[in-house]
Structure 1
Amino acid sequence: MTRANARTGGQLLVDTLKVNGVDTVFQVAGESFLAVLDALYDARDDIRCITCRQEGGAAFMAEAYGKLTGKPGVLLVTRGPGACNASIGVHTAHQDSTPMVVLIGQVARDQAEREAFQEVDFRRMYGQLAKWVGQIESADRVPEYVSRAFHIATSGRPGPVVLALPEDMLRDLSEATVPGPHRPAKAHPGPDDMARLRAMLAAAKRPLLLVGGGDWTDRSGAAIQAWAEANGVPTACSFRRFDVVDNQSPIYVGDLGTGAAKDLTKLTKDADLLIAVGARLGEITTQGYDLLDSPEPRQTLIHVHPSAEELGRVFRPTLGIQSGVEGFAAAVSALPPVDGSAWAGWLKGARAAYEGQLTPGAYGGPMHVGEAMVALRAMLPRDAIIATDAGNASGWPQRFLQFGRPGRFLGPTSGAMGYAVPAAVAAAITHPGRRVVGFAGDGAFMMSGQEIATAIQYGATPIIVILNNNMYGTIRMHQERDFPARVHGTQLTNPDFAALARAYGAHGETVERTADFAPAFQRACDSGKLAVIEVKTDPDLITTRTTLTALREGALAKQ
């Protein structure tokens, strides 16, 4: 076909991305989608093509972009090994309810079902990790499939969508037209549901609001916070959703994540009304499904979620409302406030308990990570973006920093290690004028730390703080609880991280004393470059609340 107005499948793909507002693509180059790269060359003034060093890092970057912007992060990787590497980020987008469009090069159509070089059936591979998996067999249908991918990724509960692209299809010519931009479908609450909610709140004595899930914006976060403040309702966040409401608001009482404060878990159990908005009420948030009885909670439960399938999945709500958080926040903020005097003392006590958690406990060693975080809290601007990794290292910033819009928090509710560095790089690329800080343990940094090369290439300047205790700390913690004093398979030998950073062309420092952290952080800010600060921590100081010695002694005492 040589029609003058025809476009290749690759060109149609890129043109459809442009129509849907895509300004950035994260990718690791592969021969299976060269036609797409060629089309992106022509669109280079409209779409940034961020070339990453490994597909897992690229996937985390796309996921973080989706969290930050509310637009689908777009990932482009090659077949077989590339797609397998990328799966960690797709799984994170799924569990974190992040919109994402994953484009995977695929073997040519005449090679399918022969176990051709790097061939994988992506419908089967990604079937449980994505909202939809499709393969485009004809260039004529590229605009249809891509438009549908964006619609599905952003509608209802946001999540990842995967499209496989046979390489010969991408070179085929087509006269297909590109449709207009996608329009997400979002559910809204009905007036009867809102009237019932208000009546249930008015009858409560010990209410608790729990906010979480994906798709929150500055506007919806401000609306739900204003409603909670007007009604004096204590407000907690679900696992790693710290930035929905301002942590400095008098109604904020903490997070139900890993290592949740005992005061807050007791508060949740003692509540007579729990209003969960956007949160899935998953394992971590419910502390192993222990904070509520299943299937019939002892608390009166109002559960608001964009997916009908999530309502009643584990806990049967008294009132289930299928609604997106934007629509619900607008509707609930329009309700007249109720008299909250009955629970004013309940709120005061919960807030005081949270504020008490912001002060670290005593520690006599040279590096008190909690005190370093307190110092950092005073240095960060309101619009700072914080990215944390999985594992115990994330507990220090999560407990002792405070979050709230316009600042942002990026953390994997999937528990995926290796998230923080790529997420921080993506945040610094997306918002180059803002302070971005990523926190990783030594084990997590070594899983994706090479992506600092991506940041250097594109002039991004996040500050990466490595909390180095020379082990897989979270696993060691569980090891001591279950098999005390039998340490095996969790020790690590690490490089000089500051020297490694300098080898990349970044600013690098090592900190071993509490008093040296704040000056080192200031020098990192002043360097104008990507910076790595290695903080050497006491291995015994395993979490913000306990030590390995205490865990081991407690476990041995039970034997």
Structure 2
Amino acid sequence: MTSLPCPAPRTGARLLVDALLANGVTRTFGVPGESYLDVLDALSDSAIDFVICRQESGAAMMAEACGKLTGRPGICFVTRGPGATNASAGIHIAQQDSTPMILFVGQISRAMRGREAFQEVDYRAVFGPLAKWAVEIDDAARIPEIVSRAFRVAMQGRPGPVVVALPEDVLSALAEVPDAPAVEPAETWPGLADMMRLQRLLWAAKRPLMILGGARWNERAVASVARFAERFDLPVAVSFRRQMLFPADHACFAGDIGFSVNPKLTARLKDADLVILAGGRFGEVPSQGYSLLGIPDPGVPLVHVHADAEELGRVYQPALAINASSGAFASALEGVQPPNTITWGDWRAQARADYLEWTEVPPANPGAVQMASLVHYLRALPKDTVICNGAGNFAIWVHRFHRFRAYGTQLAPTSGSMGYGLPAAVAAKISQPETPVVAVCGDGDFLMTGQEFATAVQYGAPIVAIVVDNGMYGTIRMHQEREYPTRVFGTTLKNPDFAAYARAFGGFGVTVESNEAFVPALDAAFASGLPAIVHVKLDPEAITPTTSLSALRDKALAGRSNA
């Protein structure tokens, strides 16, 4: 037997970069640090682009956004100590959103461990509960092995983040070891018996409802589910911030189950006699505080499909548990046959009518600028436009009234993390330069990661960021007005001129203070060809599409008076 030739010695840093190249990585995000200078040097003459970010949380969110868009791990490099802890926000998003991501963290030399050396952190202890896997590499020869495993853990089953710590001396050490082959995640296919049982359950149903969520989807899988829904005349809803999983202009689309959900949709879910939950976990937000289905008995026949067997029966005990990745399940649906007579046509039609009624015309809000104008503008953009947002009440208008029509067009954190929209938009535009990208941000939300606008300018990524400025942390203020109506505290913001902020970085900035100025301002932002900020000054009273701050306060005070 002829042995393979022994490769020339390489540094740990070069082995790491070669492992990334073997797995098709073309772009990484990060903030440079002295703890991984060897990696930066190895990247400098490689085919991998290193996007220089301004803070590690923004870098990690960019990597997470790439993981969402591609289904392959987004890659982020940060330095030890504060660099790693800054990046933890992106790790938390990736974990709760089931996004494949790998965070590489520079680490002190092995000989210094246990002395609380400069910026020393035990990353396995810190990130162990937060990530899917946290590991520190102790031997340069094991880099191909551990990086390969990191890719597989990040993508396989329920995707998630992996944290890999890189001691400085490991990165500079030499090792003679071959590269590992590229990693492709295993697809878990449903069994024929499972699909036959699903068919029998559907044939016996009178009021079925399908809910899509989670990860492991792609454009082909979404199209397969749409065909399945057409054949069965089946109403399909989507989980919180997963609206790109089913086209909103499809006759079977029944809406999304998130914050400010359509009451008629929750009533329909409670009235269903069969629920098919594909890909998602049906966590706190889509379940409306775990109130829509019983625990552990859902109270309705539940078919739960998930790529990770440990998620099946974790909260809800299903009538049929199918361990399958979303894409594989979607393909298998092609073989499920509808009954000779579908009896729930009116059920589907009414679900669609309820969705259209709930989302057609945003109601007027207090003040000169109407959020309806924002939604109507977004709807008029090309269907492949990527819409990004972080967290805040401003997002309610986007989620309720915008119509997502294509896969890969929504970047939003199910974890509810503020500051996500801007870095996600930067990552999307750098990755897909020909695609229009819009970030819708709140004022407090934007300033969590606003420095990444500089990254957009540096890399010529002409995103359009709409900053909705109501001068407060609106969601928290809303809760305060309801719970402590006479004791509002700590939620007022003194904001900068966001348009001037954009111009200071070399971008385009414009301020909107009237409804008539909104559309021309957005048109000018796109036409500028520069990263742009449209600063929208919204009346603080416009707290949600259906109520004002003063109405919330009056209701809370009236309730206390009657108590």
Give the TM-score band, short-chain normalised: over 0.9
In 2, the alpha carbon distance for the partners of 1:175 and 1:9 equals: 10
Q: How does 1:343-358 map to 2 (within 5 A)?
A: 343-358=344-359
Whether the 8 Å contact between 2:212 and 2:239 is mirrored in structure 1 is yes
| The 10-residue stretch of structure 1 (281-290 or 402-411) with the greater mean CA deviation from structure 2 | 402-411
Q: What residue number does 2:264 align with?
A: 263
Summarize the Cα distance change of 1:419–1:329 in structure 2 as closer, same or farther, 3 Å threshold: same
Aligned match of 1:366: 368
Which AA in structure 1 matches 2:31?
Answer: V
- 2:241 aligned with 1:237: no
Map residues 529-548 of structure 1 onto 2, 5 A cutoff: 529-548=530-549
Retained in 1: the 8 A contact 2:469–2:537? yes
Output the CA distance in 1 between the equivalents of 2:378 and 2:135: 46
2: CA distance, partners of 1:338 / 1:454: 55
Counterpart in the other structure of 1:415: 416
- The superposition leaves residues 118-169 of structure 1 with CA deviations (integer Å, 9 ceiling, x where unpaired) of 0000001001111111110011111111011001111111111111000011
Match of 2:386 in 1: 385
What is the CA-CA distance between 1:341 and the residue it aligns to?
3.2
The question of whether the paired residues in 2 share the 8 Å contact of 1:211 and 1:279 is answered with yes
Q: Is the 8 A contact 2:367 2:542 kept in 1?
A: no
Map of 1:9 onto structure 2: 12
Q: Which moved more, 1:268-277 or 1:400-409?
A: 400-409
Change (3 A) 1:148 1:518: same
Deviations along 1:428-449, whole A, 9 cap, x unmatched?
Answer: 0000001000011000101101
1:372–1:340 distance in 2 versus 1, CA, 3 Å: farther
Give 1:489's aligned residue: 490
- Per the TM alignment, residue 549 of structure 1 is displaced from its structure 2 partner at its CA by 1.9
Q: TM-score normalised to the size of structure 2?
A: 0.97
**Matching residue's letter, 2:222:** G
CA contact (8 A) 2:373 2:518 kept: no
- Partners of 1:483 and 1:33 in 2: how far apart? 49
Residues 214-229 of structure 1 aligned to structure 2 (within 5 Å):
214-229=215-230
The DSSP-based 3-state class of the residue aligned with 2:244 is: coil
Counterpart in the other structure of 2:457: 456
Q: Is the 8 A contact 2:365 2:545 kept in 1?
A: no
Aligned equivalent of 1:435: 436
What aligned pairs does 1:152-301 form with structure 2 within 5 A after superposition?
Answer: 152-301=153-302
Cα deviation for residue 300 of structure 1 reads 1.1
* Paired letter, 2:234: V
Q: Tell me, which stretches of 5 or more residues in structure 2 are unaligned?
A: 1-5
Q: Distance in 2 between matches of 1:404 and 1:553?
A: 39
Once the 2 structures are TM-superposed, how far is the Cα of residue 406 of structure 1 from its aligned partner? Answer: 4.8
Question: 1-side partners of 2:305 and 2:436: how far apart?
Answer: 33
2:245 and 2:407 in contact (8 A); partners too: no
Q: Secondary structure at the match of 1:276?
A: strand
Aligned residue identity for 2:8 = N
Q: Matched residues, percent identical?
A: 51
- Contact 1:482-1:555 within 8 A present in 2 as well: yes
State the alpha-carbon separation in 1 of the partners of residues 327 and 537 from structure 2.
42
Per-residue deviation, residues 162-206 of structure 1 (Å, max 9, x unmatched) = 110000110000111111101212211001110011111111111
Q: Secondary structure at the match of 1:555?
A: helix
Contact 2:7 2:177 in 1 (8 A): no
Deviation at residue 339 of structure 1 after TM alignment: 4.7
SS in 2 for 1:293: coil
Q: Distance in 2 between matches of 1:20 and 1:222?
A: 27
Alpha-carbon offset, residue 544 of structure 1: 1.9
Q: Which residue of 1 aligns with 2:3?
A: none
**Aligned partners of 1:59, 1:322: CA distance in 2, in Å?**
30
Equivalent runs, 1:65-144 vs 2, <5 Å: 65-144=66-145
- Amino acid corresponding to residue 200 of structure 1 in structure 2: L
Aligned to 1:472: 473
The equivalent of 1:52 in structure 2 is 53
**2:69–2:408 CA contact under 8 A, matched in 1:** no
CA contact (8 A) 2:7 2:176 kept: no
- Distance in 1 between the 2:30 and 2:244 partners? 28
Shift of 1:371: 3.2
- Name the aligned partner's letter for residue 346 of structure 1: W
Residues 448-491 of structure 1: per-residue CA shift (max 9 Å, x gap): 01101001111111100011100000111111111123210011
Code of the residue aligned with 1:449 in structure 2: it is G
Matched with 2:27 is 24
TM-score (norm 1): 0.97
Which residue of the partner structure matches residue 308 of structure 1?
A: 309
SS in 1 for 2:388: strand
Distance 1:4 1:71, change over 3 A: closer
Structure 1 CA distance, aligned partners of 2:401 and 2:203? 34
Paired letter, 1:373: V
Inter-partner Cα distance in structure 1 for 2:279 and 2:7: 49
Instruction: Name the SS of the counterpart of 1:133 in structure 2.
Output: strand
Is 1:35 the counterpart of 2:38? The answer is yes
Contact preservation (8 Å) 2:232, 2:342: no
Question: For the residues of structure 1 that align with 2:119 and 2:261, how far apart are their CA atoms?
Answer: 44
The question of whether the paired residues in 2 share the 8 Å contact of 1:106 and 1:119 is answered with yes
In 2, the alpha carbon distance for the partners of 1:515 and 1:198 equals 53
Counting only pairs closer than 5 Å after superposition, residues 389-400 of structure 1 correspond to structure 2 as: 389-400=390-401
Output the CA distance in 2 between the equivalents of 1:397 and 1:502. 26
Q: Measure the CA separation in 2 of the matches of 1:364 and 1:189.
A: 51
Shift in Å, 1:70: 1.1
In 2: Cα distance, 1:353 partner to 1:371 partner: 22
2:336 is paired with a residue whose SS is coil
Contact 1:93 1:160 in 2 (8 A): yes
Q: Which amino acid aligns with 2:97?
A: D
Assess if the C-alpha contact under 8 Å between 2:366 and 2:548 holds in 1. no
Tell me the CA shift for residue 342 of structure 1.
Answer: 1.5
Matches within 5 A, 1:504-519: 504-519=505-520
Q: Closer, same or farther in 2 for the Cα pair 1:29/1:364, shift >3 Å?
A: closer
Q: 2:516 is matched by which residue type in structure 1?
A: A
Amino acid in the other structure paired with 1:440: C
SS at match of 2:178: coil
Query: What do the CA deviations read for 1:191-232 (whole angstroms, capped 9, x no partner)?
Result: 111001111111111111000101210001111111011101
Contact in 2 for aligned 1:372/1:514 (Cα 8 Å): no
Whole-angstrom distance in 2 between the partners of 1:120 and 1:138: 19
AA partner of residue 245 (structure 1) = F
